[in-house]
Structure 1
Amino acid sequence: MNGTIYKTRSCRDQASGKKLGKNCPQLRRSGGKGERWSTTHGRWAYQLELPAHADGQRRNPLRRQGFTTVEEAETELEQARALLALVEDPQVRRKITELMLATLKDTRALPPVEEVRRKVRTHQDLNPTVTVAEWMTEFLRRKRKIDQTTRRSYEAHIRLYFTPYLGDIRLDRLRVSDIAGMFDAIEEFNDVITTARASNDREQRAQVRYRRPVGPSTMPPSGTP
């Protein structure tokens, strides 16, 4: 699983019209000790074997191309190898592989090694499509050694704030600005609660009967994620 680096080009065979890819004869030049890569023709690429699927079926290799320099191709290949080397557990390594492929599809870049290492170390879900709401549900499920008062508090925060404001966002796409927006919305709703509770209108008071403004101790200072 060391991978290989090569040059490729979208040239076509004049007779068949098929793409030549890395078999384009112009990619190599004679000189010195045998053939060498052309310095003017083609772009650099790499190929890396990936772990098989859970059922043992072979997975297509990871192929990436379009690098201007060999150093760029080597750097990304080394990053891909480092990601796969984070763990020896085959199941976790398959999840890392799926995360790599999904992230490449979405962003055209591999996920940072240290970020994935942290997720593996803290047993976070590596599924790239998991939402904040799904992650919160799993977070609460794993919190087994907390008292019932704390659990009810967590459940209320998740139900009233995290799920409505952030629940549909994919966890890997959650940004500080999303969290800041949630706190802004909470502060606005605090004003709604305060106004409604002070109103002479019974219906308005009834709408916020079981709601209390979220205090400063519950929310971080402005600008803090």
Structure 2
Amino acid sequence: MDTSHGLFKRCSCLDDVGRPLNSSCSRLQERGHGSWYFRVELPLGRNGRRRQLRRGGFSSRDAAKQACDYLRDPTVGDPSRALVSTAQWLQLWLDTRLGPRESTMQTYRHHVRNYLIPYLGGRSCGSSPTLGCRRCSPR
């Protein structure tokens, strides 16, 4: 694991008892086995507890690092080549909200889940949202 960037590789193989091996699988050195993930420290939660964001499914270490760097600082690199989908960004946005009351967060989650992700979720963060927004708007 590359702890300097929170990058790691894991798979869904199981041991003899049926527990996930995750990053301790002996086959992770094989090309094409497992996928790359990144972990980012988030601000402390309202209760003062540590929070982390983990995203994975990247085919290479470089792809995971690029997505992690982009989430840490969106001005890094060309956002039109972002490896982060709008759905992933919206989930990150929801996960990092600290200020609103719980009832407001429920409304945000409802709108993101029912309106934004179905229409815009598969798009890259760097792509123009104009077409997707036109599809969302009721006319």
For Structure 1 versus Structure 2, the TM-score category normalised by the shorter chain is: 0.5 to 0.7
- Distance, in Å, in 2 between the alignment partners of 1:131 and 1:45 is 27
- Ranked by relative contact order (alpha carbons within 8 Å, sequence separation 6 or more), the top structure is 2
Higher strand share: 2
Unaligned runs of 5+ in 2: 75-84, 94-104, 121-131
Aligned partner of 1:176 in structure 2 is 134
The alignment yields a C-alpha RMSD, in angstroms, of 3.7
1:151-166 matches, cutoff 5 A: none
Cα pair 1:2 1:48 within 8 Å, conserved? no
- Distance, in Å, in 1 between the alignment partners of 2:21 and 2:46 is 33
Specify the structure having the higher radius of gyration (Cα).
Answer: 1
Aligned partner of 1:9 in structure 2 is 11
Aligned partner of 1:97 in structure 2 is none
Question: Secondary structure of 1:110's match?
Answer: helix
- Distance, in Å, in 1 between the alignment partners of 2:12 and 2:110 is 39
Aligned partner of 2:89 in structure 1 is 110
- Distance, in Å, in 2 between the alignment partners of 1:130 and 1:42 is 31
- Distance, in Å, in 2 between the alignment partners of 1:42 and 1:20 is 11
Aligned partner of 1:67 in structure 2 is 58
Higher helix share: 1
Aligned partner of 1:26 in structure 2 is 27
State the AA in 2 paired with 1:72. A
State the AA in 1 paired with 2:70. Q
Unaligned runs of 5+ in 1: 29-37, 84-103, 117-126, 133-168, 182-225
Normalising by the residue count of structure 2, what TM-score does the alignment of the two structures yield?
0.53
Paired residues, what number? 97
